[in-house]
Structures are given as C-alpha cells and as structure tokens.
Chains A and B, each alone.
Chain A
Amino acid sequence: MDDRTVTDQATRKRFGAKTALLGAAGCVLLLFPLVAPNAYQVHIINTAGIYILISLGLNIAMGFAGQYNLAMGPLWGVGAYTAALLNTRLGIPLWLNLPASMVAAGLVGGIVGLPSMKVRSHYLAIVTIGLGEVINIVLVNAQGLTGGPDGISRIRMPTLFGFPLDSDKRYYYVILLAVVVGFLFARRILRHRVGRSFRAIRDDYQAAKAMGVNTAYYQILAFVVSAVYAGAAGALYAHLDTYISPDIFDFNSSLFILTMTLVGGMGSLVGSIVGALALPILQEYLRVIKNWQLVGYGVAIMVVVLFVPGGTMELVRRFRSSRLAGRLWARNPASGKVRVGETDVP
C-alpha cells in the first residue's frame, strides 16, 4: 500500500496521542465493572459485547466481502445450542465449548454460503433468509435434542482455575477478551490476502475472477468466518444467560444485527463496535416508552439509510473532512487526504 509511506510522518506525529488514547480506553474498559453502579448495567454491556462479535462477523461477510448473510441470528443460535447441549448433557465447560461452537457454526455457515456460488444480490439475501429459517425450524422442532420451544435452561457459568465467573461483573472480562481478540483477528485477516480478495469480490466480482481470485472459495470463506464469529458469540451468550430458546435466534435477530451493523457503518470494524454498543443500550434505556420506542427505532433506521447511508462512521468521516474539524486540530493536510476514499481499510 503506497499510501502508507505518505502518511508515515503524520502517523509518527500522532503516535503518542494514539497510544495515550488507547491506554485511557483500556483503563476505562478494565475498570468499568468496578465503577458501574449496578450489575444490570454490566449485563447490558455484556450483551452488547456479544452483539459486537456477531456484528463484526456480519461486517466481514457483508461490508467487506459483499455477501448477504441474513442468517446471522440462526447461526448465532447454532453456536448457542452447541455450547448449551455440550454443557448440560456432558458437563463440558465454556472453554472447550467455545471452539466447538465456532466449528459447528462455521460448518453450518459454510452450507448457508454454498448458494453464493450460484446466486447473488437479493436472490442470495432470500436464500440465506430461507436457510436461516430452516435452522430455526430445526431448533424449534427437534425436541429430543434441543428441547423444542421451551429451550434449554440451567447452563452453568464457567470457572477459571477454580474461581467462579458466576456474575455479570466477573463474566465481563471473558467477553471483553473475546471482543478484543475478535476485533484484532478481523483486522488481521482483512489486511491479509484474504481481506484483499474479499474487497475485490465485493467491488467487482467479474474483475476479481479475471484477476485470478478464487471467488467461490473466498465467498464461502466469508460466510464461514462470519458464522465462526456468530458461533463464538453463541457460546458466550449461552453461558452468560444460562437459558436459551429458539425464538431468540430467529429472523428478527438477524435483522437486529443487520441494523446495528448498518447504523454503525458497513465496511468499518469500528462501526460495528459503535453500532452494536449503541443499539442495545438505546433499546434498554428507551424501554419506558415501549412501542413508541420501536417506532422511533424504525424512523431512525430510515433516517440513517436516507441521509447517512455509511452509518455513524460516515458521520465521523464527514466531520473529519469538514472545515470545523480542520480548524479545531489544524491537522497535516496529507493525513487528511489519504483518509478520504480509503474508508474501508480497517
């Protein structure tokens, strides 16, 4: 990437500020459960953390590889059920269930992704919706295995070397670690050949194919990666809530995940974090106005789509390139320039 040499100077100048910011953010994140007024607020953040993982997965598939995966909710369910069954039937702890859930969801995700070799655009959208529905129907109806509509209860929270992680405040660190690892992993693969192939397929399928990108392989890989994220989120969710039922993992949950990812910003990993934090928190605090809250939520989606289609991250970019931001920080014009149009480089 040639642009990097251009930004080198500016990057070095801003390096100190960046480290300081990261350090401060790290401290806030580590101390949050200790200063949070009550456990319920930690619970909301934990749930948001789980959504961040799923949203990162969806963003990789949709925002970076351009593959419509509208089965994220049910795939999340595959992860949750794998962990719940292993835990309640065989007594296996979270630490082993987590990889198992990721593998299970990844496999199912690969199957959901198979049609991407043949169909695109809204056809792919409805095919993944359909296959997601099938997964959900199996969860509801395979009563002997999944417990049917009643779901599975009494999943045990994990212990770490004999220390029980049995409260939201303690579990918080598990989720924090998972989100950090998930974020860094996503950034890693998106800067790798895999990520470049993803973007090539998204931007121009035919051209990517002509350039020798193995499109079928990378399309399915995009589905598998997104499903692995959903699977990890599922295992974490099952062990946090200790009760799961199929109605949590239906098409509506796929939509909720899609919405938070779009509101945050498709094609921006930070956007996923912003969206996945903002929506569940908003939903929690606006619960008092009940249905009006949901109406407002719908209106907000439409406003975002019509006026800021890039989501929150586009707002940030607009602000950055605005005169006001220039006057506030008087930044190096070179560093400002490179940012524009390079929006999807994580």
Chain B
Amino acid sequence: MNSGIFIQTIIGGLGIGSLYALIALGYSMVYRSMGLVNFAQGSIYMVGTYFGIIWYAGIVVGLRVPYPVALLIGILLNAMLGVVLERIFRPLAKLDLMFMLLGTIGLGFVLNNLFVIIFGAEGFAVKSPLPDTPIIVLGIRVLPQMLLLIGGAAALMTALQIFLKRGKLGVAMRASAMDHDIASAMGIPVNRMNALTLAIGSALAAAAGILAAPIVYVNPAMGSAIGLKGFAAAILGGFGSIPGAIVGGLLFGVLEAVSSGYISSSYTRGIAFIIMVLVLMIKPTGIVGETTVEKV
C-alpha cells in the first residue's frame, strides 16, 4: 500500500475523530459532574449545528453572516440551550440508569422532531468557507475544511484544558464534580456548575457540528449516528475522563477510517464497534483507564 494514501486515510480519520472527540467530551463532562449519561448529546450536536449553520447558509429570512460569526452564534446559542437543559436533567440525574437513558432519549426525540417540523426532514449540503480544492503536499491530498476541523478541535480542547486546570471557575467545576456535598459546603454553587458543564459540553458539540457541516450533510437526523459513535468513543477512552474522551474520539475516527480504507467500507461501522467491544472486554475502564467517580 502507498504510504501517501495511508497518511491521507489517517488525516481523514483524525478529522472525523476530532468530531467524535468533541462530542465525547460532552458525554464525559456531564457524566463526571452530574453522574448523568446524556443520550440526548447527539441531538444537542444536531441542534448546535443548525443554530450556527442557518445563519451562514441564509436559511432564516435570507440573512447571511460570515462563517466565523455563524460559528460564534451557534456556540453561544447552544451553550444557552445547555443551561436550560440542566433544569430538565437535574431530577433525571437522581434516577436509575435505565430512566436516565429513557428520559434523555425522550428529550432527544423531542429536539429531533421539533427540528423536522421547523426545517423539514430533508437536509442540505453546506458550502465550505474555504476553497473546495484539496491541498496537495508531497502527494497527500487534504481538504482545507478537514484541516480547519482538526485545528479548530485541537484549539478548543487546549482551551478547555487550560480553563479546567488554571481558571478559578474550572477548579470549582472540577471540585463540584468530585464531591457535590463537600463542594457545596465550600460555597460552590453545584447546580450552577452543572449548568456550566452542560453549557460547555453543548458549546463543544455545536462547534464540532458547525466545523464539520461542510464535510457531512446537515439534516435533523444527523445526530443519532454521530451521537452513538461519540458515546462509544467516550467509553473507549474511559467514560468520565476528559483526556480519555479526546484519545477515544481520535482513535475511534482513525480506526473507522483505516478499516474502511483497508478492510471493507461497507462494514466500517461494524468493525469500529467490534474493536470497542473488545477493548472494553479487556480493559473495562477504557484506554486511558482513569478511575471515574462513582456517583451514588
């Protein structure tokens, strides 16, 4: 096999993997802080994509804004959605996994169908703000939008790490995730921290969706498959772990790209899931293997 094509496959995998990683971060952060497995994450990603892309594609009253502005609007609107969702998720987080699963799936169902009602079931393709012709370096062809996706995701993840490790708010968030009772005894508003976590998770999903929109097709059903894979990626890396979500997402993307390029493109999804199952069987805590906080 040609090494150029191999590198091209890896880059493609990293691109789609960055998308999975950003979504996996939403799952893991919310699980860490609220103990809630949020199966509506895929729908939140879809909603975030629409929140940004509709302004860029001129769907609302023909109003068009430049791509970076649309990206910002989408991120902000989806962060606000996250804050609203905290109110709905608060009682859910106290229930059994089975009910969390169903409650969040129900919410996803509502979001998906509301968007079908508003924007129609059929989707649309989004034109990349960058040139459509691939950049060729040393015989490796890469779409500029793919590079933007990888770079944007990397920047967001770095910013998140800095925020969580250095910022006062980030430390408060981590403290509240570690122990609700002690954190609130220390004067940290736990519910507000949870709302912030959901806002950040949703904002990352929106960013992922808007950055990937020119590569994937935009429609109200786009969230279900990606949401499932983001969840698988979070589990693969180690559920509840932030580095785990990033590693898991990138790895899941690369695995998918390599298996579709070299084994069989029609069985791609299946191969990625089988590898995930195998990893879990061997190491149930995921690759990064951080022990997560078990919420009671």
User: Which chain A residues have a beta carbon within 8 Å of chain B's beta carbons?
Assistant: 62, 68, 115, 118-119, 121-123, 125-127, 129-131, 133-134, 137-138, 140-141, 251-252, 255, 258-259, 262, 266, 291-292, 294-295, 297-302, 304-306, 309
> Could you say which residues of chain B place their CB within 8 Å of the CB of A305?
92, 95, 99, 102-103, 106
* Apart from the given pairs A123-B280, A141-B267, 13 other A-B contacts in the complex at a CB distance below 8 Å: A118-B280, A118-B284, A119-B281, A119-B284, A126-B232, A130-B277, A131-B273, A255-B105, A295-B113, A295-B117, A298-B108, A298-B113, A299-B110
> Could you say which residues of chain A place their CB within 8 Å of the CB of B99?
262, 305, 309
- Can you list, as one digit per residue, whether each of B77-114 has a CB less than 8 Å from chain A (1) or not (0)? 00000000000100110011111011101111110111
> Could you say which residues of chain B place their CB within 8 Å of the CB of A126?
231-232, 235, 276, 280
Cβ of B281 and Cβ of A118 under 8 Å apart? yes
> Could you say which residues of chain B place their CB within 8 Å of the CB of A122?
37, 97, 101, 235, 239
Cβ of B103 and Cβ of A131 under 8 Å apart? no
Q: What is the minimal beta-carbon distance from B239 to any residue of chain A, in angstroms?
A: 7
Cβ of A130 and Cβ of B273 under 8 Å apart? yes
Cβ of B276 and Cβ of A130 under 8 Å apart? yes
Cβ of A134 and Cβ of B284 under 8 Å apart? no
Cβ of B109 and Cβ of A301 under 8 Å apart? yes
Once A291-B116, A298-B110 are accepted as A-B contacts, the answer to whether A262 and B102 lie under 8 Å apart by CB is yes
Once A134-B270, A294-B109, A306-B92 are accepted as A-B contacts, the answer to whether A301 and B280 lie under 8 Å apart by CB is no
Cα separation A121 to B100 with both chains bound (whole Å)? 12
> Could you say which residues of chain B place their CB within 8 Å of the CB of A134?
270, 273-274
Give me 10 A-to-B residue pairs in the complex whose CB atoms sit less than 8 angstroms apart, sorted by A's number: A115-B277, A122-B235, A126-B232, A252-B224, A258-B101, A291-B116, A294-B113, A297-B109, A298-B110, A301-B103
- The answer, yes or no, to whether B269 is at the interface (CB within 8 Å) is yes
- The answer, yes or no, to whether B228 is at the interface (CB within 8 Å) is yes
Most buried by A among B97, B98, B232: B98
> Could you say which residues of chain A place their CB within 8 Å of the CB of B37?
122
Cα separation A50 to B177 with both chains bound (whole Å)? 44
Cβ of A125 and Cβ of B101 under 8 Å apart? yes
9 closest residue pairs by CB, A with B = A301-B106, A298-B109, A298-B110, A130-B273, A305-B103, A137-B270, A294-B113, A302-B106, A141-B266
Most buried by A among B107, B110, B224: B110
Closest to B109 in A: A298
Query: How many B residues, CB 8 Å from partner?
Result: 40
CB proximity to A under 8 Å, residues B223-256: 224, 228, 231-232, 235, 239
Cα separation A130 to B281 with both chains bound (whole Å)? 13
Q: What is the minimal beta-carbon distance from B121 to any residue of chain A, in angstroms?
A: 8
Cβ of A130 and Cβ of B274 under 8 Å apart? yes
Cα separation A62 to B96 with both chains bound (whole Å)? 12
Cβ of B98 and Cβ of A62 under 8 Å apart? yes
> Could you say which residues of chain B place their CB within 8 Å of the CB of A62?
98
Taking a contact as CB atoms closer than 8 A, the residue among A121, A131, A133, A309 that contacts B95 in the complex is A309
> Could you say which residues of chain A place their CB within 8 Å of the CB of B284?
118-119, 123
Cβ of B103 and Cβ of A302 under 8 Å apart? yes
Closest to B114 in A: A295
Cβ of A298 and Cβ of B106 under 8 Å apart? yes
Q: What is the minimal beta-carbon distance from B258 to any residue of chain A, in angstroms?
A: 17
> Could you say which residues of chain B place their CB within 8 Å of the CB of A262?
98-99, 102
Cβ of B281 and Cβ of A133 under 8 Å apart? no
CB proximity to A under 8 Å, residues B18-65: 37
Cα separation A84 to B231 with both chains bound (whole Å)? 34
Closest to A301 in B: B106
Cβ of B103 and Cβ of A138 under 8 Å apart? no
> Could you say which residues of chain B place their CB within 8 Å of the CB of A121?
97
> Could you say which residues of chain B place their CB within 8 Å of the CB of A301?
102-103, 105-106, 109
Taking a contact as CB atoms closer than 8 A, the residue among A118, A125, A251, A299 that contacts B106 in the complex is A299
Most buried by B among A131, A259, A302: A302
